[in-house]
Structure 1
Amino acid sequence: VGLQYLSGDLSGGNARCIAMLQAFQEVVKDYTTPPQKNLNRNMTAKISSYVSFLVECRPLSISMGNAIRFVKNRIAKLPITLAESEAKAVLQSDIERFINEKIIVADKVGTACVAMVASAFRVPVLVCCEAYKFHERVQLDSICSNELGDPNAISKVDGREDINYLDGLTNNANLQFLNLRYDATPSDYISMIITDYGMVPPTSVPVIVREYQKEHLLV
């Protein structure tokens, strides 16, 4: 999975997160607790080592970080009275439920440019977003926390050879193209967010974050 991240064969927040969680399911399936070891702690350590490898291949998205926290917390909350086979079955089921309920149910995406233009023309902007992607981090711009794509990709338009305004500029030592993979959409441009918790205004996102953590991280 990590090599697929690195090569770009797996792209998009949801696709990467699902692939990671499915890999975790395989890890759980093949897991055997070593002698004199505790399942909860040992499995958490193994998951952490795999996460470190994924980070080396490509930085984690916020949604992937939330999914990892979910898995680790589910491992930590497994009753010690459960047999290993039962604990593994419960964990695999929890991961499968997370994939189905929190990711596949609403696989939508919007862009900052669309929201900005719509706002300028007073057109309401409704965003479909899975709650597992919400995070308490405040992001003020698209520069500090982002990933860089191929800079040459923004100098050409596929299928339009006539659009060549930037030809030759890629070799200019005083000019460097910047291709950001993600953008940040100001909340002022968003009218309503449609989540698996219902429709909420952008100002209610902190409430969703708090309730989501209670439901999936603390239970």
Structure 2
Amino acid sequence: MNFSKLHLTLQLLIAILISLPRRIYRVFCHFPALFTYLNRPALYGIRFRGIARCFLWLGEIPFLLLDLAGLPEWYELVNLWLKPNSRSLTSQELIWAKSLFGEMLPYQRIRIDERARLGPKQYRFCYVSFCVINSWERMPPAILIHELVHVWQFSRYGSPYILRALLAQNTRAGYDYGGIRALQMAREHDLTLEAFNYEQQAAIVEDFFRFQKKGPLRWGRGEDPHDPDTYRYFISALTEIHF
């Protein structure tokens, strides 16, 4: 009998109950937020025109309701028992993650499925479904950190992160946050990580991790981050407590 799986199963069932007040609060806050959506040209680092903001607000409601039903935990339970190849983070991966996220990730819930057949096998990409990271082979450390940012987004904002990340992928900028100069300009205007779309957020953290490991930046326009403090300014959001 796999006691570690039984233990995680119990944790997930308890998480459904523990998460309920926070998820109810998110739903409660979402309805009056319509006025904010309608009056802000940029939401989650993406500029929307007119009625598109209303459609975004409407589109997030099903995700919030699915959270209330505990869909993330039920999905993770199915993955836990029906995907025997999925694994938890290794000790080294855990060290990397904690160096950036501190204790803000549900590390015991995170599973990595390196044999995900739907999508990753055919097109060689990774994606995150709640606390499950799906790929078709072992990910390079920097890519793992990128995907862990999406786990962080789920932990912080709930399932609407899925819609926001998908929309971010289809913007002109996409993953490209503009390099260190764009970060410096954003910092001068007192902007935070939330000023960037959900894929840019992950790219910023990924590039900072690459810098720490003395590797080339993925989105840095060939420049070295001679101002690592600017990266740290944005990275600090990862360890802030958020209800």
What TM-score results when the alignment is normalised by the length of structure 2? 0.30
Q: Tell me: higher relative CO, structure 1 or 2? Use CA pairs within 8 A at least 6 residues apart.
A: 1
Which is higher, the Rg of structure 1 or of structure 2? 1
Structure that is richer in helix per residue: 2
